[in-house]
Amino acid sequence: MARRDKLIQPNGQPAFGLFSDGVEQINYLDYDLRTAMDRKRSGLAKRFGFNQFQFVSLLSDELIIGIAIVDLKLVSNAFVYLYQPATKRFEEFSFLQPLARHTHIDPRPNSGVAEFRQGNNLLRIQASHTPGVRKLEVNLPGKLSIDATIDESTSYNPLAICTRAGYTGWVFTQKSAAQVCHGRVQWHDQAFDLQQLRALAAVDWTGGYMRRETFWNWGSLSCHLRDGRRLGFNLAAGVNETGFTENALWLDGRLIKVDMVDFRFDRYQPNHSWAMRSADGIIDLHFTPHGRRQDKTNALVIASNFSQYFGQYHGEIRLPGEVIHLEGEWGLAEDHFAKW
């Protein structure tokens, strides 16, 4: 199936479903946005109602990195955090911009740029015009520098879906995991070579007219198995379950869809383990947190209660003809409430 050029069709409605080769342009301004009583919304409402974010993780046994750029129109934010399992060293850097100043996310998941600037601080995720290379740049002078390349050329098989969100909205998301990456990280006085670490990347590009109050649980993994194969997954509940799910795993780049996933955890016991099980029996995992990046914001119009955990996965992934055992591979899990 060829890549879809535009998400919004000539009738002003999005194309819902799975897109095996992604979507070139999320032309959200062509959407026929209406109220729940069918009154047409203005162009200004369409611009300010569209939320976008992009998240990239770089995972290895020696270093965990999470990077996000979020554009909510009334405000934008960005963060990057690093965790070193051997030393338990953790540091995060967070930024806010009113009215999303100096923030830009192109509505092109596979050929656009996401950028956030504040003073001399820069975070940028740049996709190529053809699937193959995604560049990551972080420059926080005197604190952190990341110059990395994510290689999607040999196993470009993203999970791209669009689903309904509430009565009048929709969400498009494109995910990939366990992508080969290389480059350099300079964290204060420590330097890391991502290729030597055998780090793997996951990419999340999301945008849409989301429910006024949204929540989700999420799990992500990118690792090398003991036989050398690359395994990644994206598991979620709370956003994209109206007809389709965003649950999938990648085995050496091959996409395998996964059914609905049940997340069991205690929100008020952050050190307790999580259970994640899929309705089709493929996923039967436990996640043990080792730390988290947390943010709570309550600013009347917008609010966020965000906890992203880094930790280790144990359990089984049951596929036709084989059972993959996870024995402490590093990954991420998330519990998030948002009002926007």
DSSP assignment of 155-190: S---EEEEEEETTTEEEEEEEEEEEEEEEEEEETTE
Q: What is the CATH number of the domain that holds 203?
A: 2.40.370.10
Rounded CA gap, 30 and 77, in Å? Answer: 26
Give residue 300's pLDDT: 76
pLDDT digits (tens, 9 = 90+) for 162-174: 999 999 999 999 9
Give residue 314's pLDDT: 98
Which is more confidently placed, 233 or 302? 233
> In 245-340, at which residue ranges do the beta strands (DSSP E only) sit?
248-251, 254-257, 261-264, 274-278, 283-299, 302-319, 322-339
Average pLDDT, integer, range 218-222? 98
3-state secondary structure of 29: helix
pLDDT digits (tens, 9 = 90+) for 257-300: 999 999 999 999 999 999 999 999 999 999 999 999 999 988 87
Residue with tokens 């338990």: 88
Question: Would you state the structure tokens that stand for residue 290, as one six-digit string?
Answer: 């080792």
Average pLDDT, integer, range 186-206? 98
Average pLDDT, integer, range 45-52? 96
Rounded CA gap, 291 and 302, in Å? Answer: 26
Average pLDDT, integer, range 98-123? 96
List the beta bridge partners of residue 302.
299
pLDDT digits (tens, 9 = 90+) for 24-38: 999 999 999 999 999
Nearest one of 56, 63, 331 to 196, comparing CA atoms = 63
Give residue 128's pLDDT: 78
pLDDT band at 179 (very low <50, low <70, confident <90, very high): very high
**Structural domain count, the chain:** 1
Give residue 8's pLDDT: 98
pLDDT band at 196 (very low <50, low <70, confident <90, very high): very high
Rounded CA gap, 18 and 205, in Å? Answer: 15
Tell whether the model's pLDDT for residue 2 goes beyond 60.
Answer: no
Q: Length of the chain, please?
A: 340
Give residue 241's pLDDT: 85
pLDDT band at 154 (very low <50, low <70, confident <90, very high): low
pLDDT band at 130 (very low <50, low <70, confident <90, very high): low
Across the chain, mean pLDDT equals 95
Give residue 131's pLDDT: 67
Rounded CA gap, 290 and 8, in Å? Answer: 42
Sign of CA dihedral 91, 97, 102, 105: positive
pLDDT digits (tens, 9 = 90+) for 7-23: 999 999 999 999 998 99
Average pLDDT, integer, range 40-57? 96
For residue 146, the enclosing domain spans 4-339
Tell whether the model's pLDDT for residue 87 goes beyond 90.
Answer: yes
pLDDT digits (tens, 9 = 90+) for 184-193: 999 999 999 9
Average pLDDT, integer, range 68-74? 95
Give residue 123's pLDDT: 98
Tell whether the model's pLDDT for residue 232 goes beyond 60.
Answer: yes
Give residue 1's pLDDT: 46
